[in-house]
Amino acid sequence: MMNPMRQRSLALCAALALTLPSVTASAQGTATAAAQNEAASRFKKGLELFKDGDYQAALIELRRANELAPNYNVLYNIGQVYFQLQDYPNALHSLERYLQEGGKNVDAKRRAEVEKDIDKLKARVANLEITVNVPDADVMIDDVSVGKTPLPKTVLVSAGRHRVIISKVGYATVTKLVEIASAEVQNVPVELVETKSTTATPPPVVVDNGKGTTPPPPQVVPMPTPLPIDSQPPHRSVPVVGWVVTGGLAAGAVVTGILALGASGDLKTQRTSGTATRDDLGTAKSKTQTLALVTDILTGCAVVSGGITLYFTIAGGSPSDSKAAAVPPAGAFYKPTLNVGVNPGGVSLLGTF
């Protein structure tokens, strides 16, 4: 028994073959002879690439053919290739244009088939409503630009996980991972924070003495009286080792996080390629999950280490300082101490109070 994907492939090949003779015919008067010939050549090349399973290259050739010699029949083929690539929003858009531009030229049987595909596609897409607090910010979804803010309407996407990136010069870029189910409309609010300084230097004070404005006389600020030696504030040491450990953990988390994003992108590419085996997808998924877990562990350790190091920085000492004061003088209070250790098994704490 032939599976549905293979049936769709054979049906598309037949549609491409039947549509080919009409590519140049329907473009008469709208394209030059050279453009029509190139369109027909690219159409044939797109058919060959599709038969070979190279859907991305086939899509490029078909779109170029339609740009050179517009033909509503080619829109049907483009929509079917998008369907094969699981790019459901573009597939839906192409098939709707095919019915609209074809009008009465689309026979009843083909129209019914396309309307059935359109209903199926509508059940696999969703809408993102992206709102940003500043205008003219660039909006990208899955590394594809969708316009500048404010967007005139919601953005049609496939159901699943998407990466939304909002950027503008002078503001910190914001990246959000959004998960959306089919047929949903999800609002994605984004607030950009300005990075450049907005504090203006106050103008100099001037005095009007009747003869024009002159700067005020300089004020004499008395020097502070030095404190006696016994009342000088104690020296505070900075726990350098703790900050080095925290920085190392944070750097490790950043590196593994970047690797995790790369692995996630590779997994998505394999899923949409149509040529990856189940073992390949399993390996890519396992790699992505492992890198994400390592990133979470390193991030947690960096937060714990940073918090403890910050405590000793503010308290004016480090874990090593407590060793020097292990035997306090008679009548003195014990100073609480806290030691932190990082090892492959986790983070250990040891303190005296």
Each residue of 84-136: pLDDT tens digit? Answer: 999 999 999 999 999 999 999 999 999 999 999 999 999 999 999 999 999 99
Q: In the predicted model, is pLDDT for residue 52 greater than 50?
A: yes
Verify that 257 and 330 share a domain, yes or no. Answer: yes
Q: How many CA atoms lie within 13 A of 244 on its CB side?
A: 5
Average pLDDT, the chain: 78
Predicted pLDDT of residue 197 = 60
Verify that 140 and 175 share a domain, yes or no. Answer: yes
Least confident window among 11-25, 37-51, 140-154: 11-25
**CATH number for the domain that contains residue 149:** 2.60.40.1120
Predicted pLDDT of residue 24 = 45
pLDDT single digits (tens) 310-335: 777 776 655 554 444 444 555 444 45
Verify that 261 and 331 share a domain, yes or no. Answer: yes
Confidence band of 238 (pLDDT split at 50, 70, 90): low
**CATH number for the domain that contains residue 110:** 1.25.40.10
Which tokens hold the place of 94?
A: 């192409």
* 203 within a domain of the structure (yes/no): no
Verify that 253 and 336 share a domain, yes or no. Answer: yes
Verify that 129 and 186 share a domain, yes or no. Answer: yes
Rg for the chain (alpha carbons), in Å? 33
Full residue range of the structural domain in which residue 82 is found: 4-122
Answer yes or no: are the C-beta atoms of 70 and 30 closer than 8 Å.
yes
Predicted pLDDT of residue 247 = 84
* 223 within a domain of the structure (yes/no): no
Verify that 114 and 129 share a domain, yes or no. Answer: no
Q: Is 53 left (phi over 0), alpha (psi -120 to 50) or beta?
A: left
Q: In the predicted model, is pLDDT for residue 338 greater than 60?
A: no
* 263 within a domain of the structure (yes/no): yes
Verify that 322 and 279 share a domain, yes or no. Answer: yes
Q: In the predicted model, is pLDDT for residue 26 greater than 90?
A: no
Verify that 262 and 286 share a domain, yes or no. Answer: yes
Verify that 89 and 138 share a domain, yes or no. Answer: no
Report the predicted TM-score, pTM, of the whole model to 2 decimal places.
0.50
Verify that 175 and 265 share a domain, yes or no. Answer: no
Q: Is 331 left (phi over 0), alpha (psi -120 to 50) or beta?
A: left
Number of domains in the chain: 3
* 207 within a domain of the structure (yes/no): no
* 314 within a domain of the structure (yes/no): yes
Verify that 156 and 100 share a domain, yes or no. Answer: no
CB atoms within 10 A of CB 79: 26
Verify that 130 and 177 share a domain, yes or no. Answer: yes
